Structure 1
Amino acid sequence: MRATLEAAAAAIHAAREATCTAICATREAICTTHEAAAAIRTTHATAIAIRPAAVAAIPQAPSLLHPSARSVGKRAGRLSAAKSTSKSGIALMNPCLRESLYCHPNKAITNQKEKLQLHQKITKLKSHVGLIADLWSSNQNLGYLGVTAHYIDEEFELHKKIIAFKQISFPHNSFAVQDGITACLTEWDLVDRVFTVTLDNASVNNRAIRDLRAALGAQMFFKGEHIHVRCAAHVLNIMVQAGLQVIPNAVGRVRDIIKVVTSTPSRMQTFNSIVQALGLKGKSGLILDVPHRWNATYDMLNEALKYKAALNRFAAEQYQDVPSELDWQKAESLHEFLEQFSEATKAFSADRHPTAHLFLKMLMAVQDVLLDETWNTNELLNELAEAMYTKFQKYWAAPSMVLLIAAVLDPSMKADFVRFFYLTVENAEAEAKMRELRQYLKKYYLEYERVVRNNTGPIFVTYEEEVLSQGESSSSGLRGKRRVELAFAQFASHNSSTRSERSELDIYLNDPRVVAGTSAMHCTSAWEWIVTLYKDWALILYKDWARGSRYEWIGAGYNLKRTGLDRTILHKKGFGSGSIYC
């Protein structure tokens, strides 16, 4: 028994010795591996360090390599530069950090270059710049101010550039709006170059512009006398909303059935099956309106009337409240009524051509619709028209002078249309209003005449001046009629009180109107001051169009109901941290 125990102890001791020997060998192997790894890292670092120099030392290599192979060398150079700015090579393993190292600095430089180029273009303009300012809020109640600049170049092309989209301080009152616009004007050196600023018709905006003019008016063109323009499309929205509030339940059943159809995918599938079975054709599909956008109600009715039969059948099959024939008649009447204002909104919201000269025409068209006696036979539309006309009187009873001048600058309208407007709207004060308009026209003309004279010399030349200029060089050779003409020109030049000059303003206003759409509409080069003046007045654009076009590229992150913008979307798309130059 004792011999057995001794043998077991000897075996355990031998195993222990073998294990210790194996552990020591493993430790030595690990140390060798560490040393080899360190040597590899050193070699790799040396290779990266000398690779750019080695590539640069081969002048013929780029012309012999495939473009994809040449890009490898360029990539290696960027990797080396990136690593030299990092404490370790770990940052190179993160794609997001690599993008931050390579892309963002270049993007910032590109934006600064674009900003400098745009700044230089604006500085060289002979005309002024129009601004459209808009307030937005994110779903975190953070306020953003977007500013779009418009200008017309020497080729008479209208340009629009988003020059600012920045977060403004809380509370979002008139001071915050004023500070945001002031910062934009200062950053772009636009204080003395801004012509108008278009904003929504809100008390905050009205006070902000009033304070802005009080602070910077002395530096502005004409002391900022007509700098504030209220967005016509926004005013029109206020008018229609006021009317729809009077008849909130006019299309309640139609709206309810649309809400049921669009509530779930299964119901939409059922409705689509009914549409196909009835052979109906529609492009846009059903639309559910939102409370604060009247044109959404118009769009909803526009599509619902196309699917009237399908909606009635869906409601009957799904045991829903089927809209009656009276409900559909109300929907048709309201759709017909709102269609007139939809056309006006589209006219105001055009962004590819000037729209200020159309204001008076659209104003008279809106007034004509509201005062149409046809609505008297329809109680629903009569209440709607009366409520809207009350707002019309509040906002548009006295149009801004800049909008009247914009109509005069249209060769197809001139002062005749403004006179027609006054005789139609307020006959008693028509002549007094026209005298006031001519005073403003003369005041602006004299200023623009001075600008054009400084750039190109005299804006008009009398017959006597022309004779004098021709006679001074060859007076000794003049005989008969030419000598008499020269003598009279000299006499007239010394007696300027006897000379009657017709300015280009008088010539323009007294010349016959041209027919809209003809080639004569493009003859404004004959009136140089008109060209300079029109470049400014054509910048009076209305802001509603900018709400869509400015942010349409944001995509899914943009809330179509216009209730807010997600802050993450703003920053992912490049907003928030600076300005956008597009």
Structure 2
Amino acid sequence: MNFLKQFFEFTRPGNNNISGQCKLCGKLYADKLKSTGNFHKHLKRKHTKQYEESKFSDSIPPKTDTNDYSENLTSNVIKINQVMLEELIVKSPKWKPASARHFTKTLLPSLLNDVQDKIKNLLDNVDHLCITVDVWTDRRGRSFLGVTGHFLDLEYVPQALLLDFLRLKGPHTGENIQNITIQILDNMKIKGKVYRIITDNASSMIKAYKFGLSVTDVDYTIQDDNKQQQDDDYDGLSEWLLVDWCENNNDLFDKGDDPAKRLSCFAHSLQLTIRDGLKYTPYLSKSLSKCIKLARRSHKSTKVADILDDIGKTINKSNMTRWSSEYLLIKSIIGLGRKSIDEITDVIDDNGVKFSNDDFVILQEAVQILEPFAEITSRIQSESVVTASLVVPSVVHIIDHLKNIKPNISFLKKMCLQLEQATNERFSGIVKRLSQQIVYKDDPFSDPIYFVCTVLDPEFKLFWLIQMNYTPILESQMKQHLIQMILNECEKSIDISFDNLESSLSSSTLITNSHTTQSVDASILKKRKLFQYDERFNSSFGSTITPINEINVYINDPIRSRFSLYWENSDLCGLKGIVKRAFSVQATSAPIERVFSQAGIIMSPRRTSMSEEVFKSLVFLRVNQNMI
């Protein structure tokens, strides 16, 4: 920095930036604090002679007497050589480096077997897990099928493992994919533990797991006389009482079905939703094409690169397979500012990439519309947190966002309408439940597990309902529907008859009015929470607690701590069992996509001759490196 002060007049730094005016030509440049790259580049390009002269004068070292230095250096070299002779050569006269064959034929298989044994022992203590499945093709055109497993550990922390990475030979048919998946699960003896299967929306994946896998679960039937008795009990109480979510036969899910059913990847469905929204939007298409042209030209022009270096910014590249790349491209161009864009387009000298005022308005509207989608996409694919509980709040947020932003949009109203329509179609199961309509089994995202996970996540509970702007009556009904879904999940874990469950519902006060923030009577719950600290109450409460009691306690618990911390320290044993099973579900197939990213790094262009067995072993160990 002292060297640059002879050429620049620096201003006081702020916001982690520093600016300086060149004393030779008067131009103003900026750079990040503690970074001087832009200033040096300017001197090298514009004032080469002065820059080199100053550099040369500073690089001339002062004259010193080197006699003492040479003597010390010679003495040190002699000492080092003596140590090497005595310690290294004498003590290890026959040492030889291990050969590549030793690594691939001995060490790698041994390490692979150790990790596989550890994974099998770990999964022996897991009751439920979710798997993600996908197919990947390497640089040589060979296809591989990967399967990851997901579960909650004893501390309720999400865990992920690569179960296997096998060669997929032959056509990518649904039957072939299913057979290899079952082979992997049978080898690890975990087929009966699989709760859900997450894949993308490829036709082969849908066909492969259309009927899931064979997993035994607790069955129950609803007797006609029980239903009649239920109707009699609710007669005259209207909508204030718990409404049975499965009131219409069209909304019934067969409880005897294989629970290891397939679920769609939320991120993939969200991307398709956005693609549908971006269709037939001439205003945005025209402006976006300019952005793409500008990005291509800027990466080929050294003059544009110099301008971007001077202002310390870049233009993102576009990727046709991912909408997020187009969003980031638009955002990066808007971030340059109108002045810089005009300067760049003048250098390119192409009328096809010049931006008008309307173009900037359109691009800004596109960013405003798509920003929540980008945030959701990023968070829903997280590795370290539970993700199934994010699905319903994400859809609710999208619905609310599009509804509120439409009045403020000038050019892209059609895009908003198309996004709304695509959301309603691609997430129809969730949207229908939010609207309290009949949900069919084949509706996308019709599985109630998404609502169960959302309510059982302390971050959300029922707080997200405020975005739906329900009337008090509709909100009350919706809360009761959500409770019923959790009770249905409880029946899969607890050996309880439907009659007993209805009795517990009848004996528990579930009336909700417009003044309560949660779904049960607050006064009764306060008494229960108070009596929990009484030893006599605790001694009897643990033996008579019912699912509805635990739900009441949980819903009205004011604590909103992190998911893992909350459930690890919770005393709600019944709900903890539901949480262990339900939150094994992944919202997306991102985990297996990350495996393929690692596989692509291992199979680099210089390593395409690697054998299949070595490649599979390296991928398996790389992804499961925490088990080594």
Counterparts of 1:230 and 1:578, CA distance in 2: 25
Residue number in structure 2 paired with 1:549:
594
How do 1:162-311 residues align onto structure 2 when only pairs under 5 Å count? 162-213=162-213, 216-218=214-216, 224-225=258-259, 227-247=261-281, 248-262=285-299, 264=300, 267=301, 269-277=302-310, 280-282=311-313, 285-308=314-337, 309-311=339-341
Cα distance, 1:289 vs structure 2: 1.1
Q: 3-state SS of the aligned residue for 2:574?
A: helix
Unpaired stretches in structure 2, ≥5 consecutive residues = 1-85, 220-255, 431-446, 497-539
Counterparts of 1:365 and 1:384, CA distance in 2: 17
1:574 aligns with one of 605, 615, 628: 615
Q: After superposition, what is the alpha-carbon deviation per residue over 1:528-568, rounded to whole angstroms, capped at 9, x for unaligned?
A: 23223212222222335436633444576789xxxx99965
- Give yes or no for contact 1:571–1:577 (8 Å, CA) kept in 2: no
- Give yes or no for contact 1:552–1:558 (8 Å, CA) kept in 2: no
Cα distance, 1:327 vs structure 2: 1.7
Cα distance, 1:421 vs structure 2: 8.0
Counterparts of 1:241 and 1:443, CA distance in 2: 36
1:401 aligns with one of 444, 448, 452: 448
2:560 aligns with one of 508, 516, 519: 516
2:550 aligns with one of 504, 507, 516: 507
CA separation of 1:546 and 1:102: change in aligned 2, threshold 3 A: closer
Residue number in structure 2 paired with 1:528:
573
Query: What is the number of equivalent residue pairs in this alignment?
Result: 435
Counterparts of 1:366 and 1:343, CA distance in 2: 11
Cα distance, 1:356 vs structure 2: 1.4
Q: 3-state SS of the aligned residue for 1:354?
A: coil
Counterparts of 2:315 and 2:592, CA distance in 1: 23
- Give yes or no for contact 2:291–2:329 (8 Å, CA) kept in 1: no
Cα distance, 1:450 vs structure 2: 5.8
Cα distance, 1:72 vs structure 2: 5.3
Q: 3-state SS of the aligned residue for 2:191?
A: coil
Cα distance, 1:116 vs structure 2: 0.7
Counterparts of 1:525 and 1:377, CA distance in 2: 45
| Residue identity in the other structure for 2:572 | W
| Residue identity in the other structure for 2:288 | V
Cα distance, 1:331 vs structure 2: 1.5
| Residue identity in the other structure for 1:107 | L
Residue number in structure 2 paired with 1:444:
489
Counterparts of 2:153 and 2:160, CA distance in 1: 11
Counterparts of 2:147 and 2:471, CA distance in 1: 35
Counterparts of 1:306 and 1:154, CA distance in 2: 46
- Give yes or no for contact 2:278–2:415 (8 Å, CA) kept in 1: yes
Counterparts of 1:105 and 1:551, CA distance in 2: 26
Counterparts of 2:562 and 2:103, CA distance in 1: 54
Aligned-residue identity in percent: 14
| Residue identity in the other structure for 1:528 | C
Cα distance, 1:427 vs structure 2: 7.9
How do 1:92-491 residues align onto structure 2 when only pairs under 5 Å count? 98-125=99-126, 127-139=127-139, 141-213=141-213, 216-218=214-216, 224-225=258-259, 227-247=261-281, 248-262=285-299, 264=300, 267=301, 269-277=302-310, 280-282=311-313, 285-308=314-337, 309-321=339-351, 322-372=354-404, 374-376=405-407, 378=409, 380-399=411-430, 400-411=447-458, 413-414=460-461, 416=462, 424=470, 431=477, 438-449=483-494
CA separation of 1:180 and 1:379: change in aligned 2, threshold 3 A: farther
- Give yes or no for contact 1:243–1:388 (8 Å, CA) kept in 2: yes
Counterparts of 1:394 and 1:249, CA distance in 2: 27
Counterparts of 1:291 and 1:275, CA distance in 2: 24
| Residue identity in the other structure for 1:340 | P
CA separation of 1:412 and 1:75: change in aligned 2, threshold 3 A: closer
Counterparts of 1:271 and 1:135, CA distance in 2: 40
Which of 306-315 and 250-259 deviates more? 306-315
| Residue identity in the other structure for 1:174 | G
CA separation of 1:438 and 1:155: change in aligned 2, threshold 3 A: closer
Q: 3-state SS of the aligned residue for 2:190?
A: coil
Cα distance, 1:300 vs structure 2: 0.9
Counterparts of 1:335 and 1:418, CA distance in 2: 24
User: How high is the TM-score relative to the length of structure 2?
Assistant: 0.61
Q: After superposition, what is the alpha-carbon deviation per residue over 1:195-244, rounded to whole angstroms, capped at 9, x for unaligned?
A: 2111112332222111443xx24589975326322111111101001112
Counterparts of 1:66 and 1:255, CA distance in 2: 63
CA separation of 1:121 and 1:565: change in aligned 2, threshold 3 A: farther
Q: Could you say which structure has the larger radius of gyration?
A: 1
- Give yes or no for contact 1:164–1:578 (8 Å, CA) kept in 2: no
| Residue identity in the other structure for 1:176 | N
| Residue identity in the other structure for 2:185 | L
| Residue identity in the other structure for 2:323 | W
| Residue identity in the other structure for 2:558 | V
- Give yes or no for contact 1:191–1:219 (8 Å, CA) kept in 2: no
Q: After superposition, what is the alpha-carbon deviation per residue over 1:45-92, rounded to whole angstroms, capped at 9, x for unaligned?
A: xxxxxxxxxxxxxxxxxxxx957766654649x8xxxxxxxxxxxxxx
CA separation of 1:528 and 1:175: change in aligned 2, threshold 3 A: same
Counterparts of 1:121 and 1:298, CA distance in 2: 42
- Give yes or no for contact 2:393–2:464 (8 Å, CA) kept in 1: no
| Residue identity in the other structure for 1:404 | F
- Give yes or no for contact 1:271–1:310 (8 Å, CA) kept in 2: no
Q: After superposition, what is the alpha-carbon deviation per residue over 1:345-397, rounded to whole angstroms, capped at 9, x for unaligned?
A: 1221111010212222111001112223x324535421112222222111222
